[in-house]
Structure 1
Amino acid sequence: MNKQILLVNRPKGKPQTSDFKFEEIDKPTARDGEVLLKTLYVSVDPYLRGRMRDEKSYIEPFELDAPVKSSIVAIVEESKHDQYKEGDHLVGMLDWKMYQTSDASELRPADPDQAPLSAYLGILGMTGLTAYFGMTDIGEPQEGETLLVSGAAGAVGSVASQIGKIYGMKVIGIAGSDEKINMIQEQFDVDAGINYKSTDDMTAAIKDSTPDGIDVYYDNVGGEILDAAMNKINRHGRVINCGAIALYNETGQPTGPRLEVTLVKKSVKMQGFIVSNYQDRFQEGIKQLAQWLQEGKLKHEETIVDGFDEIPQAFIDLFDGKNKGKMVVKVGD
């Protein structure tokens, strides 16, 4: 049996399970130059919400009545490819299908002896690389500086926080529950945390937690938390605009404070990016992340959901903050 998951509606506001459709299809066979892949782990990520809009962006929107795509770890079940054999593990952008064929031109190996396979969707995958290049290239971390991270218990934020500690920074993490605050402090050695859901005044909370101001702000959420952080940004501060999950489900045009005066008066660098900007440096990033992981300097937290049929709900749960670290759906062994 084979299944696929189609996008059948463009969500209005927060996605619903009714925006997706399950469909039974034939199991394919590999042709010359192809591999037959069995899906093992599926990544669900907030940025997928943007691809569900019918609007121009840095990547083409998903087509309606076509499979959703995301990063997937798969095992080669049949090979007619010169480079890969049965039993090899590959990772890359693939359809939400249980089985599919590929020429593997845009896939890369995933070594289960180097790290758990699910890690190639997280700390050794796009989220880990996003944290790495955002912090090192845009953030330019320096020992003794203060780093503020929003979404600090999430897939990217938890890695960015730990990279800050590796560079000797004081790290303040923002997350959405006391349980998550305890996790980032106990597991990731974050110096202090702010529960934004129980804080009435984010500006005051950030001010109290960063008495020396903010040198680097790794922003995963945008919105009012970004506004509050900018009140404490230091001269020559760096703002890494990685995501804006607080705004992804907005149906109107969000507005907020004007930041131009702050940027000019304090000579602040504010830069958005997507991880594919660094595609030619991925191996550099994976090598460094793997080294830190093996040395025990990095830890990775995952929320693993079981079952192919749970993929849409796992994706929706991201917007309610139900994940700790990387949200991954396990489909097979």
Structure 2
Amino acid sequence: MTEMNKQFLLASRPQGQVSTGNFRLVERPVPEIGEGEVLVRNHYLSLDPYMRGRMDDARSYAAPQKLDEVMQGGTVGEVVASRNPAFAVGDKVLAMFGWQLYGKSDGSLMMKLDTSRVPIQAYLGCVGMPGITGWYGLNKIIEPKAGETVVVSAASGAVGSVVGQLAKRKGCRVVGVAGGAEKCRAVTEEFGFDACVDYKAGKLRADLKAATPDGIDGYFENVGGEVLDAVLRRMNAFGRIAVCGLIAGYDGNPMPTHEFRSILTNRLKVQGFIVSEHMEFWPQARRELAQLVGDGALKYRETIAQGLESAPEAFIGLLKGRNFGKQLVKLI
């Protein structure tokens, strides 16, 4: 009996919020490999907010996800067949095989992984793209100095939790913004932030003011909307804002900004960035993050959905903030 590969395709583009009907599960034979190719059995699939933007057929920094093709996404797995001398059966690898059980490649977009000190799935989270995103935005845009105050939105997430811990290591006062008492408790007790503001408590501006008595020097933006407005009111002169994501508007919701004047009056630097455009920094960032994880100095949380069939619901939950830390799908 021919072994089958399960895949999720993008069946339709969302009109507003994503639904499970936007995806279609198909089964196809596991692909045969040719000379120079490898076959990988994926162990984990990464789910990330950027995927929502690519589901729309709109002008952006990357081409839209094509209809009736496998949903894009990062994966880690094990080589199960190889006709490429650079990869042996049993090698653990990072790739972009997307929402499917198996992937085939000529090896050009795969990276071997050292899992002796770092768990394989961490290469999709704090030692992967999310962690490197946090590393870059903090070090290259915010450029924090000891004694400054840095605020991080979505502080319990895969990116925000790394930003805060790295900023603490640089001697900053770090304040997170997260949704719910449980997440805020983890942000301070597990990740070591100095304070965390629960935006769901209904006192965002007052609580943020109390948590930042000396104002805000650096802000790592993952959300937009009312959180950005509250932060702009507290920014100090010559503050720096790294705009990584705007999840409040990913379903097409308007995100009015009422405190834009702060950018002028406080002479703020506001810079959006796409981490894939700065690949020259990835090796350094990955080395530093892997060292911290291996030493137990960088903490992280994971939300793991079981089985490929769970991917659509897990993705919808990610967009609604139901996950805690890095959202993964375990495929084995």
Work out whether the TM-score is over 0.5.
yes
1:167-207 alpha-carbon deviations (Å, 9 max, x no partner):
11111111111001111111111111111112x23222211
Contact 2:157 / 2:324 at 8 angstroms: preserved in 1? yes
Q: How does 1:187-202 map to 2 (within 5 A)?
A: 187-198=190-201, 200-202=202-204
Unaligned ranges ≥5, structure 2? none
Contact 1:152 / 1:175 at 8 angstroms: preserved in 2? yes
Residue of structure 1 in register with 2:119 after alignment: 116
Q: How does 1:123-134 map to 2 (within 5 A)?
A: 123-134=126-137
1: CA distance between counterparts of 2:31 and 2:197? 49
2: CA distance between counterparts of 1:264 and 1:195? 28
Contact 1:166 / 1:297 at 8 angstroms: preserved in 2? no
Q: 1:8 aligns with which of 8, 11, 22?
A: 11
Q: Which amino acid aligns with 2:316?
A: I
1: CA distance between counterparts of 2:236 and 2:257? 20
Unaligned ranges ≥5, structure 1? none
Q: Which portions of structure 1, spanning 4 or more consecutive aligned residues, are displaced by more than 4 angstroms?
A: none
Q: Which amino acid aligns with 2:330?
A: K
1:114-169 alpha-carbon deviations (Å, 9 max, x no partner):
30000000011000000000100001011111111110000100100101111111
Q: Which amino acid aligns with 2:328?
A: V
User: Residue 258 of structure 1: CA displacement?
Assistant: 5.5
Residue of structure 2 in register with 1:215 after alignment: 217
1: CA distance between counterparts of 2:128 and 2:318? 18
1:199-226 alpha-carbon deviations (Å, 9 max, x no partner):
x232222111111000111111011110
Q: How does 1:21-60 map to 2 (within 5 A)?
A: 21-60=24-63
Residue of structure 1 in register with 2:86 after alignment: 83
2: CA distance between counterparts of 1:55 and 1:77? 37
The answer as to 2:104 corresponding to 1:98 is no
Q: How does 1:1-333 map to 2 (within 5 A)?
A: 1-198=4-201, 200-250=202-252, 253-257=254-258, 259=260, 261-332=261-332
Percent identity, please: 42
Q: Which amino acid aligns with 1:76?
A: V
Paired residue secondary structure (1:95)? coil
User: Residue 297 of structure 1: CA displacement?
Assistant: 2.4
Q: Which amino acid aligns with 2:20?
A: T
Paired residue secondary structure (1:25)? strand
1: CA distance between counterparts of 2:112 and 2:288? 17
Q: Which amino acid aligns with 1:256?
A: T
TM-score in terms of structure 2 length: 0.96
1: CA distance between counterparts of 2:225 and 2:278? 26
Q: Which amino acid aligns with 1:210?
A: T
Q: Which amino acid aligns with 1:10?
A: R
1:283-308 alpha-carbon deviations (Å, 9 max, x no partner):
11101111222333211111111111
The alpha-carbon distance between structure 1 residues 71 and 27, as it changes in their structure 2 partners (threshold 3 A), is: same
Number of paired residues? 329
Q: Which amino acid aligns with 2:227?
A: I
Contact 1:129 / 1:285 at 8 angstroms: preserved in 2? yes
